[in-house]
Amino acid sequence: MNEVFAAIDIGSNSTNLLIVDQAGKTLERIVRSTRLGANLTSTGVLSAESIRRTLECLNEYESLIKRHNVLRRRTVATAACRVAKNTAEFFTAVKKISGAEPELISGEIEGALSFVGATSSFNDKRPTLVVDIGGASTELMVGSETLDFAVSLPFGAVNITESELHRDPPRPEELTNAISLVSDAVDDVAHNYPQVSQVDRIVGVAGTIVTVAAVEVGQKVFDANSLHELRLTREAVEDVFRTLATEPLKDRVFNPGLPSDRADIIVGGCCVLVAVMRRLQISELVVSQYNLLDGLISELRKKTS
């Protein structure tokens, strides 16, 4: 029997689905902006509108899961659900759709799963730093054959935008403050885990980094597959950052490679990426389209082997 596996990642900015068959062939890979963590910084709760958007998306995913006759599945929720006061209410609504509540995973577990996914396509298992910038958190993970450590920082594209970038376009001092905030947190990581600067390769995953890569190459039609293993230099990241951060939203949306549903938070995501690359003196990173979802699928497949 050809088993089919599914993984869902309910994030702060997007709700994502991956379905693969027993041979590892991807049947569905969908990234959908649902902005579950919208306004969470100021309100402390998941808004009714954000919950509605996310539940609609999960309903669509459930139809695909049934269509593919998925037998083994795993659904996780991350940063927004870790801090919201009404997560239990949201999980109850999710259970009505899927029959089970999502797993609320810690930042460290999120990082471990992202590390497995991000490095899964590389044959050489040399010391690697994986940078995963999400909507409300950023994970830094180091390992080679196995994960050595994972650290989660409470800054991502959505919450940095909401808390620090108030003008359109942001004022220089807003950008400086946002970068400094993240840089201070990265500085603590570098102090506590010096291995973060002693790696042979840096891999970048998730929406912000993939989008910066798409803008850098000027993709007319967004295609994450073609960006896999693209080398993204710090100079290129800084150039994309300067371009996007100095444009008002009404102009920014016309940049090739920038999805319209990410245009309002991409500058915040760039602030996080720039801060990490500057503080850790990263000259180049490799883009991976594989991420947390692939880590989840890997664990599901291991349990059946």
CATH of the domain at 26: 3.30.420.40
* Same domain? 144 vs 269: yes
Same domain for 68 and 166? no
Q: Report if residue 191 sits inside a domain.
A: yes
| Domain boundaries, position 181 | 121-287
- 33 part of a folded domain: yes
Q: Work out the average pLDDT over 262-285.
A: 95
pLDDT of residue 10: 95
Residue 170's pLDDT band (cuts 50, 70, 90): very high
Question: Mean pLDDT over residues 283-288, rounded?
Answer: 93
Residue 112 lies in a domain: no
- 3-class DSSP assignment, residue 38: coil
**Residue 263: which residues within 8 A CB-CB, separation 6 or more?**
249, 252, 253, 255
pTM: 0.88
Give the number of other Cβ atoms within 10 Å of residue 270's Cβ. 29
Tens of pLDDT, residues 130-141: 999 988 889 999
Question: Is 143 found in the same domain as 87?
Answer: no
* CATH for 231: 3.30.420.150
How confident is the model at residue 1, as a pLDDT? 57
Percent of the chain past pLDDT 90, that is, above it, reads 69
Query: How many structural domains comprise the chain?
Result: 2
**21: β partners:** 4
**DSSP percent split of the chain into helix, strand, coil, nearest 5:** 50, 20, 30
Q: Are residues 241 and 270 in the same domain?
A: yes
User: Which tens digit of pLDDT belongs to each residue from 226-250?
Assistant: 888 899 999 999 999 999 999 999 9
pLDDT score of 8: 96
283/251 same-domain check: yes
